[in-house]
């Protein structure tokens, strides 16, 4: 029996896709920049079915690519152009919220649950699942775990790694590891869930997770301000941290070029402050208590910032609708950039204090390569995470004789600046297929060797997500 027939027998005929039209959405990435061929797309509906698929692909010696919502920004979730076509194992049918334990501040969910549905289920129980990002309507919990996703809530709540209590994983040999602990404390040796968080599907298929929940904030105050410079924005960050403590839940900066793209390309978005201001920051404080107090604290810091010349202007959201409208602008940047042209987005992290120096030096490095090239910028400033985006119009990009080489040179120049400042070339998006060469150049050899050893231990035949995360052995 062929592998496809075996999979059909295991999952049912409707759960194995082979027609090109059905495969299309699974073999090209969200930005339309990476694509490959798949043997088929398998759609299991239970952990037992995932284990059966893993055993079948292993026996056939066929690679397996776990896939969530396919929103990876580094080509992580689509087949590589090289090597035999993998079976794409898409988790979207595994979307059950298994349980919510409000008293324990935890919930158990299947990996295919869409992030927004998890947030919603937590909120219905009066709890918060704090991971939030622009793709939350499509990305899945399994994908966010596999990429250790960050987003806009990291400043207060940490990244995905900080919000996972336990995992259920199908290992490359087909065994199921039930590590769905619900504990805050469990010092019984190595904490194995961390082998799979951020491993981008190279070590196993995450089939379910126990997530850490938080009290649901019921009071919010949001402002949009125009700092005089990134250095002034940093000073404002410090003042908010000092005055609002743990209530500070977001501090997101964009520049005016990025704001203009959102206004030009995403219908219905309004600028909270005019794009004539060079820098823009969305700041949010939230709590479980009185909104009036929160708002006063926010306004006080803004007034002080204005007196000291740190901000040129600011507007405080007067209603929930205005707050949502501000967040919509922030969450529309990726969509706008996809429509506006070709952005060479980096995912740089530097120490928070080094962000202004990073922006200056990275801009200079890019302009040494392409004088005058427009650069736009989106930063989770409170985390020191800057998406630094040298930007080409579609026409200018098409006219380049050596597009791939030029793109790689420009991004590498930015990554070198981050590295020299003690930073990272991948803060939150992961490595996927597009950053494996940078991994080889920037990651210490000992770390890569250790990662390779662990991978070999779990997946000696290298069938799980080959060609990604780890650099090629002979680059
Ligand atoms: C508009 C937009 C905004 C974004 N904003 C952010 C942001 O602010 N912060 C951020 O961190 N990311 C952001 N991203 C990137 C992306 O959404 C995240 O990386 C997300 O976590 C990917 O989830 P997914 O379900 O789409 O995973 P996929 O893209 O399907 O897969 C990503 C990787 O995880 C693996 N994988 C998926 N599911 C599983 C599983 N169940 N078990 C094992 N491996 C698995 C895949 O093999 C692949 O390597 C954004 C993307 C878009 C399109």
Cα(328)–Cα(184) distance, integer angstroms: 34
What's the pLDDT tens digit per position in 149-176? 999 999 999 999 999 999 999 999 999 9
What's the pLDDT tens digit per position in 183-233? 999 999 999 999 999 999 999 999 999 999 999 999 999 999 999 999 999
What's the pLDDT tens digit per position in 58-80? 999 999 999 999 999 999 999 99
Please, which pLDDT band fits residue 380 given cuts at 50, 70 and 90?
Answer: very high
Average pLDDT score, the chain: 96
- Which residue has its alpha carbon closest to ligand 1 atom 50? 135
* List of residues 6+ apart from 369 with CB closer than 8 A: 406, 409, 410, 413
Q: Spell out the long-range contacts of 22-28 with Cβ–Cβ below 8 A and sequence spacing 24 or more.
A: 23/88, 25/70, 26/67, 26/70, 26/78, 26/88, 26/90, 27/78, 27/79, 27/88, 28/78
Q: How far is the CA of 36 from the centre of ligand 1 (A)?
A: 18
Q: How far is the CA of 177 from the centre of ligand 1 (A)?
A: 22
**CB-hemisphere CA count at 13 Å for 46?**
6
CATH architecture of 97-215: 2-Layer Sandwich (3.30)
> How far from each other are the two terminal CA atoms of the chain, in whole angstroms?
37
Cα(199)–Cα(455) distance, integer angstroms: 9
Give 3-90's CATH code, choosing from 1.10.1740.10, 3.60.15.10, 3.20.20.70, 3.30.43.10. Answer: 3.30.43.10
Pair type for strands 87-90 and 40-42: parallel
Q: Using the predicted structure, report yes or no on whether residue 33 has a pLDDT greater than 90.
A: no
Helices 230-244 & 291-307, crossing angle to 10 degrees? 140
Q: How far is the CA of 359 from the centre of ligand 1 (A)?
A: 26
Q: How far is the CA of 461 from the centre of ligand 1 (A)?
A: 25
| Topology of domain 219-332, CATH | Alpha-Beta Plaits (3.30.70)
Cα(236)–Cα(239) distance, integer angstroms: 5
| Pocket-forming residues, ligand 1, beta carbon under 6 Å | 30, 65-73, 76-77, 91, 111, 133-135, 139-140, 142-144, 146-147, 149-151, 200-201, 205-206, 334, 428-429, 465
Q: According to the model, what pLDDT value does residue 473 have?
A: 80
Tokens found for residue 173: 């040999």
For residue 208, what are the β-bridge partners? 110, 168
* 219-332 and 341-420 in the same fold: yes
251, 244 Cβ separation under 8 angstroms: no
Please, which pLDDT band fits residue 332 given cuts at 50, 70 and 90?
Answer: very high
Q: According to the model, what pLDDT value does residue 474 have?
A: 63
Length of the chain, please?
475
Please, which pLDDT band fits residue 54 given cuts at 50, 70 and 90?
Answer: very high
For residue 64, what are the β-bridge partners? 87, 464
283, 250 Cβ separation under 8 angstroms: yes
Please, which pLDDT band fits residue 475 given cuts at 50, 70 and 90?
Answer: very low
Mutation choice for ligand 1 from 77, 87, 115, 151, CB with most ligand atoms inside 8 A: 77
Per-domain boundaries in the chain: 3-90, 97-215, 219-332, 341-420
Alpha-helix residue ranges (DSSP H) falling in 147-229: 154-157, 193-196
Q: How far is the CA of 200 from the centre of ligand 1 (A)?
A: 9
Give 341-420's CATH code, choosing from 3.40.50.180, 3.40.50.300, 3.30.70.2740, 3.30.1300.10. Answer: 3.30.70.2740
Task: State the DSSP code for 354.
Answer: G
Q: According to the model, what pLDDT value does residue 244 have?
A: 95
Taking Cα atoms as reference points, which of 152, 183, 158, 113 lies closest to residue 121?
Answer: 113
Residue the block writes with tokens 């941290």: 241
302, 223 Cβ separation under 8 angstroms: yes
Q: Is the pTM of this model over 0.85?
A: yes
Cα(136)–Cα(339) distance, integer angstroms: 19
Cα(195)–Cα(321) distance, integer angstroms: 41
What's the pLDDT tens digit per position in 361-372? 999 999 999 999
């Amino acid at each position: 029996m062929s592998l496809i027939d075996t999979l059909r027998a295991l999952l049912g005929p409707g759960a194995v896709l082979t027609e090109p039209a059905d495969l299309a959405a699974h073999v090209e990435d969200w930005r339309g920049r990476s694509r490959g061929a798949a043997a088929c797309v398998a759609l299991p509906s239970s952990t037992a079915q995932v284990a059966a698929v893993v055993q079948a692909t292993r026996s056939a010696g066929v690679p397996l690519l776990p896939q969530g919502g396919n929103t990876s920004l580094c080509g992580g979730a689509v087949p590589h152009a090289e090597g035999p076509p993998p079976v794409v194992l898409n988790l979207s049918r595994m979307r059950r919220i298994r349980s919510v334990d409000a008293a324990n501040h935890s919930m158990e969910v299947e990996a295919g649950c869409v992030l927004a549905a998890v947030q919603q289920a937590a909120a219905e129980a009066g709890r918060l699942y704090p991971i939030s990002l622009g793709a939350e309507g499509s990305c899945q919990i399994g994908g966010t775990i596999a990429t250790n996703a960050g987003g806009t809530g990291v400043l207060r709540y940490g990244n995905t790694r900080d919000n996972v209590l336990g995992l259920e994983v199908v290992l490359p040999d087909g065994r199921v590891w039930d590590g769905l602990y619900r504990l805050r404390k469990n010092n019984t040796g190595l904490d194995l869930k961390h082998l799979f968080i951020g491993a981008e599907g190279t070590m196993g298929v995450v089939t379910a997770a126990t997530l850490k929940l938080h009290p649901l904030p019921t009071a919010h105050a949001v402002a949009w301000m125009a700092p005089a410079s990134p250095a002034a924005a940093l000073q404002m960050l410090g003042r908010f941290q000092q005055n609002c403590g743990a209530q500070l839940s977001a501090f997101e900066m964009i520049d005016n070029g990025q704001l203009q793209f959102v206004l030009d390309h995403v219908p219905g978005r309004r600028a909270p402050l005019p794009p004539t201001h060079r820098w823009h920051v969305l700041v949010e404080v939230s709590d479980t208590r009185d909104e009036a107090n929160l708002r006063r604290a926010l306004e006080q810091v803004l007034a002080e910032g204005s007196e000291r010349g740190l901000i040129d202007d600011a507007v405080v959201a007067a209603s929930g609708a205005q707050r949502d409208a501000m967040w919509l602008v922030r969450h529309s940047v990726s969509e706008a950039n996809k429509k506006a042209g070709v952005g060479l987005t980096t995912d740089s992290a530097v120490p928070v204090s080094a962000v202004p120096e990073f922006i200056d030096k990275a801009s200079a490095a890019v302009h040494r390569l392409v004088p005058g090239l427009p650069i736009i910028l989106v930063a989770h400033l409170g985390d020191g995470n800057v998406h630094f985006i040298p930007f080409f119009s579609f026409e200018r990009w098409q006219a380049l004789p050596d597009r791939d080489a030029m793109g790689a040179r420009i991004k590498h120049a930015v990554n070198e600046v981050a590295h020299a400042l003690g930073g990272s070339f991948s803060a939150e998006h992961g490595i996927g297929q597009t950053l494996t060469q940078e991994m080889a150049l920037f990651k210490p050899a000992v770390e890569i060797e250790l990662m390779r050893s662990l991978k070999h231990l779990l997946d000696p035949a290298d069938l799980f997500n080959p060609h990604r995360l780890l650099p090629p052995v002979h680059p």
